[in-house]
Structure 1
Amino acid sequence: MADLTEKSTAEKKREDLVAKVLAVSDLVQYQDGTVASRMIVFKTAGTITLFAFDAGEGLSEHSAPYDAILTVTDGEADVTIEGAPFTVRTGEMIILPANKPHAVQARQRFKMTLTMIRE
């Protein structure tokens, strides 16, 4: 029964965002020494998740079965895709290809939107 209540609460939070003008920077906050995240869309076709990285924090190398679009909303980070380095800054985006190892490391406090598209 608790699982149903938790799911309903999570779904309710996402529903509260629908049909409203949202300030992206207000939807996820920086937290000292960590990476904070907030999923705002979770559908069969894909997900949209917001992240806030404290300076020096990151996501270790991993891969995903679907393409993902990383859009920087604040700050600057280093991204590697199959070992190739990229720097992304506010207002820029990079496509992370499916099944290719990638990692993200914040150069400074950094916020991003990650849009994952499923096939």
Structure 2
Amino acid sequence: MDKKIKNIPHEEIVTLRELVPCQEGQVVSRTLAQNDAVSVTLFSFAKGEEISTHRSQGDAFVTCLEGVGKITIDGKEYILKEGQSIVMPADLPHAVYGEEAFKMLLVVIF
């Protein structure tokens, strides 16, 4: 049977932030699930790295796992810290920037 959730141990306790190392000068991602209805991805951003402004057809739910990130939604900036979450609504331009080394869980619902 094909696993719906991949790239993560099953039936084992994990700490999500440990699954995506911060690497100097890079954005690192690990896709955990992806289909027509949902996408679940872990990201790490080295300080100063970013995903530039883009749009998504789904609502994007971001949770900060570690560090500090700047989320820009339709031109408005939000500072996201460990344990905090924000929703980037579908079809609005948005971007993510590592204010410092930053790790996040992204869940997009299409």
CA distance in 2, matches of 1:45, 1:57: 28
CA distance in 1, matches of 2:101, 2:78: 17
**Which structure's residues are more often strand, by fraction?**
2
- Of all paired residues, the percent bearing the same amino acid is 33
TM-score normalised by length of structure 2 = 0.90
Superposition deviation, residue 18 in structure 1: 2.5
- SS of 1:26's equivalent in the other structure is helix
| Correspondence 1:1-119 to 2 at 5 A | 14=6, 17-118=9-110
Unaligned runs of 5+ in 1: 1-7
**Which structure's residues are more often helix, by fraction?**
1
Q: In structure 2, what residue type is equivalent to 1:97?
A: P
Contact 2:7 2:30 in 1 (8 A): no
Count of residue pairs the alignment pairs up: 109
Superposition deviation, residue 44 in structure 1: 3.2
- SS of 2:48's equivalent in the other structure is coil
Point out the structure with max Rg over C-alpha: 1
The alignment's C-alpha RMSD in Å is 2.0
Unaligned runs of 5+ in 2: none
